[in-house]
Structure 1
Amino acid sequence: MPGLILICRRGSTSLKLPCRSRPYSFQEPGTSAMSQFDSPPEASTSSGQPKGQYAQAPVVTEDSLRWRPKYVFRPPPLGPGLGPGVRQLRVPAKPKNIVHTITGWDPYAFKLPSYRPGRKMITFIVVTTSLYAGVRYDRKEAKRMAAEYLEQVKEMGRQPIAGMEEVPRCINVLTTTLPEDTERDRSAIYFKKYIKPMLHAAGVDYEIHTGKMPGNLARKLIDEIRTRRLEEEAKRPIEQPVPGTADYVRTVRRLQEIQGGTLIIGHNTLKEYLYALRKGWLSELDLVQAARDNDEPDAALSARLAKLHVFDDPADQLNSDGPNVGNIDDEPAPPVLTRLQPQSAAPEAGSVSRWSSWLKPAVQPPPLPAFELNPPFEVDAPEPTPRILPAPAQLPTQPPIAIVAYDHPLGSMRWWPLKSWRLLFGERERVRRGAETALAILNCHTRPLRGPSDQRYILARTGSELGAVGELEAPQDNFLTEEGKMKDYDYTPLESGTDLDIGSDAELHYIRAFRKWPETIASSRKEWYTQLPKKLALARELARGDREPTKEEVKYPPITETELRQQQLDKERRWQNEEEGWKVTRAGSKVAWDERMEEALYLFVKSSEEE
């Protein structure tokens, strides 16, 4: 509100009341008090008043005490050459951005503020910018390193093949799933992303063998090794096989396998590979039992399950003395059944029923001559003489191996910082490790694999002189108490100071539930066998027709006895395989090693290392 000066009369003097605005000058005596208000707006404007300001209030004297002061608002001038009745033209507004118009974005939202951000905002900007710059630099350097490594091997892929008989080099890639890992092909994905491009650039083929469960790869390799031993035993080797024959193809494949090599990804894969070599090659092989297992793989397991007697019928146990083979009319049995049974007394004349004539055939068969039962029907056939294939004195030469120390922490939250660091800034290390492994395979520089020669490692953590194999073949009850709980055992990695320790730190990152895997298997087995009698009784009750099935049973038929037997076989096979896989790959178990492996295994190394 503009300044205002009021003069009130108090006695014979004048009192001035100033306001907050600037002071005003008093009017000279004798001047009309209304002269300034009666003048037109132009006159006041020309006197130097600012635009849009209120006019100065006049000084009130004693002659004009009855007059009430007013405020006069003077609008700013319209411009040069414009009168009071002419309006000034507005400048057209700048057209808006079409993107802002369509999307409805605020054009000022993306403009930097004119003020300095606060301390928290500065901290956030610095941290996020640093992380982004670090990740960006890591990815850029990894891409540059991969391109440099590819340039080193491109010339290998451009070399021509010598002839039609030359086959391309093939690498066997062995991968396994980490214990309790839901991502089945994690290690295979690592190979395809960091090692496969190098092999493709060099013109080298590969074949992946993946174990979906712990111990699955070892069983597969053991079966292949035993099959090869049986084939070599059945066929006499030919020194110079004729091209085009099966022996020639087999020889070429064997040579290609040795010239190619084996790539092992992960320490758990190394354990399964050496365990398969130890059990497949360096153990005796029963040819008769191997033939039986080939025809009926589950014969031994079925025989072991039959000794449990969980499917025995109580009604059959009550009539264990033998069923009554006589007919309902107490008539003598037919001649064929008579010879299979001891001679009984002839029936009395009055004991023949009137239904006997209906049950007799129209034409009586001639009586069979008396004969003696063959021995196979009276006693069990003698077991064939077992033929044992002894283990070789030395492990046959195997393809050179390359070991990748692959690891992926699982489970506990304490590994999250490590996983985050590897995810954000570990791309260069993964590219470098994969490329150097591929270069070692392509350059074919090898040296003998250094195994533990100290007997303390071979006999460590086991009370058997068989070493690792004795521990792996030990019964599962050694790790469980009578209540089915796990015993305390040392699960820290067992170091030997040799090449067998490559990637052994991965055992520290296993999920904790895998340490008590035998206890989990025992609990599942106990639960299934507890529910079995109820399911078996229901299946037999419906199969015998003791009662009619309910509507729910008609809509959802319960499991039959045959299905229960098959389910038992499948579950026992799975539990047995899981127990064997746990023994091989558990944390703290040693790698299966034998002194006969020293001169047969070779390791791919860099060209700078001593061969």
Structure 2
Amino acid sequence: MADGSSNQTSRSSTGSKPNPANVNPAFRYLGIPTSWLTRQGSDRPRLKLPSARTSGFLLSCGSLISLYAYDRYQCKKIKQRYLERVSHLSETLVTNPSNDQFESDNGHWMPRRVNVYGARVPEDVDVDRGTQWFKKYVKPILIAAAIDYTIQNGTTPGALARKISADIRDQRVVEAAQQKEGHDLPDLKPGMPGYREWHAGQHRLTGGTLILGRATLKEYLWGLKNGYEQRIPLDELDDDERFSKHLEEAGIFEIDAYPAEFSSNDDSNMPEGLRSVHEQLMETRGQDESLDSSSSMNDQSSTSPDKKPSNFFTLFSQSIDTPSSHLSSSNSNSNVTTLASTQIPLQAPLLLVPFDHPIGIRWWPLKTYRFFNKREQVELGAQTAMKLIQSQTRPIEPPTNTAGLSEFPKLCSATAVEEKDLEDVNIQINLTGSRDLDFLAPDADLHLRRSYRKLWKRVIEERDLFRKELKDRLIACRQSSASNHPEEAGQAEPLNESQLRQEAFQKERKWSDQLHGWSIVRQGSGVSWSPDMSDALKIYESSHEDPNITSEN
């Protein structure tokens, strides 16, 4: 009887159907058999959904990974599509090298070269953020179209502007010397040294200039305007020597309370370590010139009896003025002392690249959106390359509102500017009314770090503190050199005056460059403009009929 009841119980347990109420509806709607979920007759655990927190975590991670994978897949498709559209341009050079389209005057084809300018984003950790963007999104399309490029990147704000201005000044001096001597450069043939650079110079107007971002546009226009409109002194002083002379005239090393023991009479007996580089160069100019310089200084000192006695630093300033005046008198016969400003010639067309990199915590949502939408950057870089390949240009639009232009010349030197001069700096962004000069405005200026607005204050405070300490260090250095006490064992040897001057020169140069770059790219600074730019500059743009270049089939 007991055995029968047990068999009946086992038959009822094995024959009973699983209760669907105990099954999660999510599995039921997915079509999974109920027997698989209830695990009838098995010791294995039943399948069940994860908890709410685990489900949210998996859903978030899966969504982000899917967005990332989809975006990168689309990036490859977009890049490949544009590469196929321009690849026939480079393939034609291999299959048909005698094509007249690619044959130069000398029967030797050279690739079209463009100049890429990239300025550093203020207070960015990467000094070449813009050029990295170019190499990643624009360079592959240009290489596929057989277009060469050169990159000039500014390591600090304002460095690119000074580099462009210096290159233009050097070019003007060389051209003026060649015109004076009637010297013409011969045409170079393929294979000769320097042919690549010579060919690029001869065909510079057929190339182009890529401007990466608004900061680069400001620095390029400033360098272009300053390079051609600045008067160039034809003296023997370079930029560092001229800046050192400016420091001397500013009286940074003047100490009235404790004058140096060296005077103009015993300048030849001055220790080698205390003489500046300029004074050493003066001794190599010749005996006649040194005699004329010493006589002129003696006459000047005799005519001004109320002037304070000359020391090492005042003598340095006087000796610097002597060669320049001598050079002016020697060049007075030929009436060439300075090279006058010239009109801005025709430049290579500009391609304004809408590169922008916001900095700061407040722009993290925008940067996160851009991280998962790299396909927009790929499309933008490809369209930029297409504009350059298509070579459709138009004249630059002149400004209609002068309030958006910057003052010129904008030489904000750290040796003369004071804190009171920069307290009322205008940070309001004024537009010029030109779509070219207002490129990426005002968003690009607003994307700068807010702390960059007060850079001038930090620089001036650091400069004033250093100058105050420099006076004390100079006094201590002169006292120790006058007493000639031997140094104690284990004590560091103090810096002499020559080393202090070198340290001061490096710091003053750094502060001057920082203020100069800040005055160009800061918020509300405006852009430089010259009426000559209306005829000298052109802008690349897309064609209205066919914005893209299709491959030849």
Q: 1:398 corresponds to which letter in structure 2?
A: Q
1:50 aligned residue = 6
Indicate the residue corresponding to 2:61 in structure 1: 128
Could you tell me which amino acid in structure 2 is paired with residue 202 of structure 1? A
- Establish whether residue 305 from structure 1 lines up as the match of residue 247 from structure 2: yes
Q: Percent identity?
A: 30
Pairing partner for 1:416 from 351, 360, 364 = 364
Q: Name the residue aligned to 2:199.
A: 252
Q: How does 1:157-176 map to 2 (within 5 A)?
A: 157-160=90-93, 161=97, 162=103, 164-176=107-119
Structure 2 vs 1, CA of residues 400 and 297 (structure 1 numbering), >3 Å: closer, same or farther? same
Question: 1:181 deviation in Å?
Answer: 0.7
The change in CA–CA distance for 1:427 and 1:113 in structure 2 (over 3 A counts) is farther
| Cα 1:267–1:290 shift into 2, 3 Å | farther
Correspondences of 1:436-515 after superposition (within 5 Å): 436-452=383-399, 454=400, 457-458=401-402, 460=403, 468-470=406-408, 472-473=410-411, 481-482=419-420, 486-487=423-424, 489-492=426-429, 494-504=431-441, 505-515=443-453
Question: Are 1:270 and 2:208 counterparts?
Answer: no
Q: Which has the higher contact order (CA 8 A, sep 6+)?
A: 2
SS of match in other structure, 1:587: coil
Quickly say closer, same or farther: Cα 1:226–1:157, change in 2 above 3 A: same
Q: 1:148 aligns with which of 60, 81, 93?
A: 81
Helix, strand or coil for the counterpart of 2:375?
helix
Alpha-carbon contact 2:387-2:542 (below 8 Å) kept: yes
In structure 2, C-alpha distance between the alignment counterparts of 1:449 and 1:175, rounded to whole Å: 20
* Structure 1 residue 388, shift from structure 2 partner: 3.7
CA shift, 1:521, in A, is 0.9
Distance 1:273 1:315 in 2: 46
1:402-427 deviations in Å (ceiling 9; x for gaps): 1111111112x211111111112x21
SS at match of 1:501: coil
The code of the aligned residue for 2:508 comes to E
AA partner of residue 379 (structure 1) = S
Contact 1:440 1:605 in 2 (8 A): yes
Q: Distance in 2 between matches of 1:472 and 1:112?
A: 78
Counterparts of 1:85-104 in structure 2 under 5 Å?
none
* Structure-2 change in CA distance of 1:128 and 1:112 (3 Å): farther
CA separation of 1:140 and 1:495: change in aligned 2, threshold 3 A:
farther
How far the C-alpha of 1:292 sits from its partner, in A, is 2.6
CA contact (8 A) 2:415 2:512 kept: no
Deviation, structure 1 residue 246? 10
CA distance in 2, matches of 1:145, 1:321: 73
Q: Distance in 2 between matches of 1:311 and 1:253?
A: 50
For 2:388 and 2:482, the matched residues in 1 are separated by 66
- Say if 1:481 and 1:487, in contact at 8 Å, map to a contact too: no
Closer/same/farther in 2, CA of residues 609 and 182 from structure 1, 3 Å limit? farther
Q: Distance in 1 between matches of 2:135 and 2:46?
A: 48
2:501 alignment partner in structure 1:
565
Match of 2:341 among 375, 383, 391: 391
Using the alignment, how far apart are the partners of 1:147 and 1:606 within structure 2?
Answer: 20
Shift, 1:470, TM fit: 2.8
Counterpart selection for 1:530 from 435, 447, 468: 468
Return 518-527 or 249-258, whichever deviates more.
Answer: 249-258
How big is each residue's C-alpha offset from its partner over 1:282-332, in whole Å with a ceiling of 9 and x where there is no partner? x1423xx24433xx3322222222231525485546998989xxxxxxxxx
2:530 is aligned with 1:594 = yes
The residue that corresponds to 1:218 in the other structure is 161
Report deviation, 1:500: 1.5
Alpha-carbon distance in 2 for matches of 1:250, 1:128: 53
Which stretches in structure 1 are left out of the alignment for 5+ residues?
1-43, 54-110, 324-372, 462-466
- Opposite residue 429 of structure 2, the aligned amino acid is T
Q: Which residue of 2 aligns with 1:400?
A: 349
Per-residue Cα deviation, 1:385-413 (whole angstroms, up to 9, x for no partner) = 453433334x21101111111111112x2
Change (3 A) 1:168 1:525: same
Deviates more, 1:160-169 or 1:467-476: 467-476
CA offsets 1:229-268 (integer angstroms, 9 cap, x no match): 1111111378995555999988633222221111111110
Mapped to 1, the partners of 2:215 and 2:460 lie a distance apart of 23
Work out whether residues 241 and 247 of structure 1, in 8 Å CA contact, stay in contact via their aligned partners in 2: no
The structure 2 residue matched to 1:292, chosen from 220, 236, 239, is 236
**In 1, Cα distance between equivalents of 2:371 and 2:379:** 15
Partners of 1:112 and 1:223 in 2: how far apart?
78
Over 3 Å counting, the alpha-carbon distance change for 1:113 and 1:396 in structure 2 is farther
1:77 equivalent in structure 2: none
Contact 1:451/1:598 (<8 A) preserved: yes
Change (3 A) 1:535 1:479: closer
- 1:378 matched to 2:295? The reply is yes
Larger radius of gyration: 1
Aligned partners of 1:192, 1:498: CA distance in 2, in Å?
26
C-alpha displacement at 1:600, in angstroms? 1.3
Q: CA deviation at 1:609?
A: 6.5
List alignment gaps of at least 5 residues for structure 2.
10-43, 98-102, 267-289, 298-321, 548-553
Deviations 1:106-143 (A, max 9, x none): xxxxx997223444444444333333322222221111
Distance in 1, matches of 2:117 and 2:472, equals: 44
Distance in 2, Cα, partners of 1:230 & 1:112: 88
Instruction: Give the direction of change, closer, same or farther, for the CA distance of 1:141–1:246 in structure 2 (3 Å limit).
Output: closer
Q: Distance in 2 between matches of 1:559 and 1:165?
A: 60
* Match status 1:428 vs 2:366: no
**2:485 is equivalent to residue 547 of structure 1:** yes
CA apart distance, 1:595 = 1.5
Query: Is 1:519 matched with 2:457?
Result: yes
Q: 1:389 is aligned with what amino acid? A: L
Give the structure-2-normalised TM-score. Answer: 0.71
Distance in 2 separating the partners of 1:240 and 1:130: 64
Deviations 1:507-546 (A, max 9, x none): 1111112101111110110111122233334433444454
CA RMSD of aligned residues (A): 3.5
Distance 1:300 1:114, change over 3 A: same
- CA deviation map 1:176-225 (0-9, x unaligned): 11001111121111111101111111121111100000110111111111
Q: Counterparts of 1:217 and 1:445 in 2: how far apart (Å)?
A: 27
Against the structure 1 CA distance between its residues 388 and 213, is the aligned structure 2 distance closer, same or farther, given a 3 Å change threshold?
same
Please identify, of 557-566 and 160-169, the stretch whose mean Cα deviation from structure 2 is larger: 160-169
Larger helix fraction of residues = 2
AA at the equivalent of 2:368: S
Question: Are residues 434 and 377 of structure 1, via their aligned partners in 2, closer, same or farther at CA, if it must alter by over 3 Å?
Answer: same
3-state SS of paired residue (2:437)? helix
Is the contact made by 1:241 and 1:248 (CA closer than 8 Å) also made in structure 2? Answer: no
SS at match of 1:391: coil
Superposition TM-score, scaled by structure 1 size: 0.65
Which residue, out of 507, 514, 517, partners 1:581?
517
